[in-house]
Each structure stands twice: as structure tokens, then as C-alpha cells.
Amino acid sequence: SERRRVAEERVRLEEQIREAQKLESLGVLAGGIAHDFNNLLMAIMGNLELINGCLPDDSAGRKYVRSAEKASQRATDLCGQMLAYSGRGPITRQPMKLPGFIEEIRSMLEVAVSKKATLALDLGGDLPAIEADRAQMQQVLMNLVTNASEALRDQPGEIRIRTWTETFSSQRLTEGVLKEQLTEGPYVGLSVTD
């Protein structure tokens, strides 16, 4: 029975190694595709900028060019996520206002919600800017909303995204689970509940 247990353990470990190799290959493939696709998007965005410069200020076509530029920017952000996931892309932190960012991606978040659920936003007014990577924040929010939607199991319900500010004392920060040393002061909070 000991040999049988060892043999079963060996088979299980070999399967884990194969899965890890598959995931690594997928990461390399995703990174390569994202890199090539990002280069194509740069050409598209450059041409859109040139078209926009050729159009008169009162041209009705400007709104279509702006729409295409926004879609290209979202696609570029997705490429950045894929590159970051594959370990080939930089993480670019920049100041961002979380409520405005959530409003920008609201339509994408609503798509992730089941048909019987609704998405409610409680964005807490004018919050201070945070330092974050836009692509990673988008991915985090999409994952949280998708998980919340799946937790409802096709039952009617509400998924609420809430942002707020809260001031933390040094004592309260040491009671937390984070290993980082954080300074006391105001922090922006984000929650997704179902």
C-alpha cells in the first residue's frame, strides 16, 4: 500500500508539473500576442490622431474618431494587463480618482453582472486620488464583480460597489493583516458586496 501511495503521489506531482508548464506556455503566448497587438494598436491610434488633425473643428466625424480612440485606449489597457500577467509588461502607477474611473468602466462591469442582478454604485463624492495601475484596477474590479455575480447563483440581487475615505491611526494600522508599514492618515476604501 505504501508503494501504491507513493506511485499515486508521483502521478499527482507529474500532473501538477504539466499544468504549471501549460500555464507558463500560455503566459508566454499571451505576452507575445499582447505585444504584437499593442504594436498594431499604436499604429491605429497614430492614424486616428492624424485623421482628427485633418478634420475641421465642427466636423461630425470627430465624435466617431473620439469613440475609436477610446476603444483603442481600452484595448491598449487590456494589452497592458496581458503583458503584466505574462511578466513582460511594466506596472504603471499613476494618480487616478477611483469614483471617476469606476464610472468610466461601468458599462464593462454591468456586462459581468448576471441578468437577474443589478449593479449599484455608491462612490462617495470627491475622493482624493490614489496611485494605481489602471489596467490592474480594472481587472481587480472585473474579477470582484464577476465573483459577486456568480455568488448570487442566478438569483435576483444587487451588487454594490462602494468607495469612501477613512482616516486610520497608527494603532489601527498595526492591527491590520497587511505586512507593510503604513503611515497614519486618510485612505481610500473600495468594497464590492453582493
Q: What is the pLDDT of residues 91-125, one digit of tens each?
A: 778 899 999 999 988 888 888 888 888 899 998 77
**pLDDT > 80? residue 192:** yes
**Cell digits of residue 122:** 455608491
Contact between 158 and 120 under an 8 Å Cβ cutoff? The reply is yes
Q: Residue 178: what pLDDT?
A: 65
Kindly report whether the global pTM for this prediction surpasses the value 0.75: no
Contact between 161 and 138 under an 8 Å Cβ cutoff? The reply is no
Residue-by-residue DSSP string for 25-84: HHHHHHHHHHHHHHHHHHHHHHHHHHHHHHS-TT-THHHHHHHHHHHHHHHHHHHHHHHH
Percent with pLDDT over 90 in the chain: 11
Region 86-92: mean pLDDT is 66
**pLDDT > 70? residue 177:** no
Region 65-70: mean pLDDT is 88
In this prediction, residue 179 has a pLDDT band, given cuts at 50, 70 and 90, of low
